[in-house]
Structure 1
Amino acid sequence: MKASLRAGVVQQAGWNDKSRSLAASERGIRALAERGAELVLLQELHATRYFCQSENTDLFELAEALDGPTTQRLAALAKELELVIVGSIFERRAPGLYHNTAVVLDGDRGLVGSYRKMHIPDDPGFYEKFYFTPGDAGRGAGRGFTPIDTSVGRLGVLVCWDQWYPEAARLMTLAGAELLLYPTAIGWDPDDDDAEKGRQKDAWTLIQRSHAVANGVPVLVANRIGHEEDDSGVGSGIDFWGGSFIAGAQGELLAHGGTASEELLVELEAARSEQVRRIWPYLRDRRVDAYGELTERYIDRR
């Protein structure tokens, strides 16, 4: 990572009108660039509404090639503004094969890497297994938990549901990621009571801050905002809670968003991770000889 890096997050609403959604993304990116941002993270599926609330084959028409119009537009912005952008697309990889994919654009180098979401949820209002195939396992560019090298540092890009899995954050860190980035789309069921809503949002913030603590790296999180209807009429829709944030290497909140459109920007110091890892040397003390059972689905010793 650069010795000092100005990193930003864009938090916005989304619409199925890609021109409207991408215009909002562009406004946020430009606003951060004017403030000196060198790295900008956008939220999950920022070019559209969150369409996974129901299963509808017509919605596959929203998908694009990896180097399709959304990626090209972000690449042009990254080149013009001389920064790194982490965006999100509904990727059509082949007929019948689709991914939830993060794309990384680096200045005049264009598309320098991508990450296909590895953990795919299937819950009421989040029917992602209908739309998305998990990313390919293994090592190497575009596979598994492989960081992406950019001009500002080595980025550990993960996507939404991946954020609940400490294994994903750890593997990215062990592969040399200097930052963890989570484009996200998460919100409340409007029918839940306030206590349940509070527990959910607190857990979401806490788990990602814990990845910063456990790995000694900064974490950037971008979430969407606003109420989005369930077009099928079955559910009550989703109230996306925003709450995007940037945390330091000890999990400290450096910037924290509310429920409106906004841009967050902080300055990160590479030396901070080194300092934290010297006093909390978790990587040194890991018992790698004793963790083999982590590859089991469940351990039943009864």
Structure 2
Amino acid sequence: MAGGRAVAALVLCARTATATNATWCSARNHRRLAGGCVHSIRPALPHAAAARLGSLLQRAWQQNSFLYATNCRRSGNACECGNKKMRMSTKDSAPAQAAAVYCRDKRGGFIYSKHELDRASTAHALLEKTVDALIRPRLEDAIGGPVANLTDWFASAFQSGGWLGIHTDVGLGHVAFVLNLTPDDNAFRGGDLEFAEGHVMGHAVSPKFNSLAAFRVGSGAHPLPHRVTAVDAPRESLPRLAITGWYTIPGADPRAVSPAILNAEKGRRTR
């Protein structure tokens, strides 16, 4: 019962939140495709609701409820990197982390080294009950219209040295969001959500606590390649904590959602 009351309180608070929008738009959207802009809200949620979510993720991190995630394997001097996500226990992840760094330095592109909340954990089950109700109204405020289905979401942690290579979220939905939940007094640097403008990075969103970034992705939308810059943090620092996911938009191109790509994104635990 106590857990149910906490969930209801978070949802009620979210419905009464007020926030300020900021928008950056690509100057390269000459074809007038949908999107092409990054919308930011801060505060995304009332402070109490965001603090509770952040505390939940912090406890999960301290209780080793996150799994290491990457998309690369190393075989000798060769790298095998793709859309298939591999997750494993942090205590078993040192070789995989070293392989990810090697492959990034060797070939670059869409490679990542991060942690994600175990989908079998108690913390994930608690978040499952609140993520849609909390984020949906704020996301609709940000993009100025309704969203339909939450296709997938995950909670991530980027510790020192973690990063996410440049990509476009193809196949995952019509609109992507990132809700940042690490307290601002945390001593890490980096972890910016950066967007490419041609061959250079044109816009950066700092991972400020309780900030939400949203942007169109997928078929029919102006592509916004993006990445998460490497995190630099002292040993005692919390990681960059965030909740990321994708929604569909009513009436938008259904080809923006690929079941095969979504299944690969959800990944598998290797050991």
Q: TM-score, normalised by structure 2?
A: 0.30
- Of structures 1 and 2, the one with the larger relative CO (CA 8 A, separation 6+) is 2
Q: TM-score, normalised by structure 1?
A: 0.27
Q: Which has the higher strand share?
A: 2
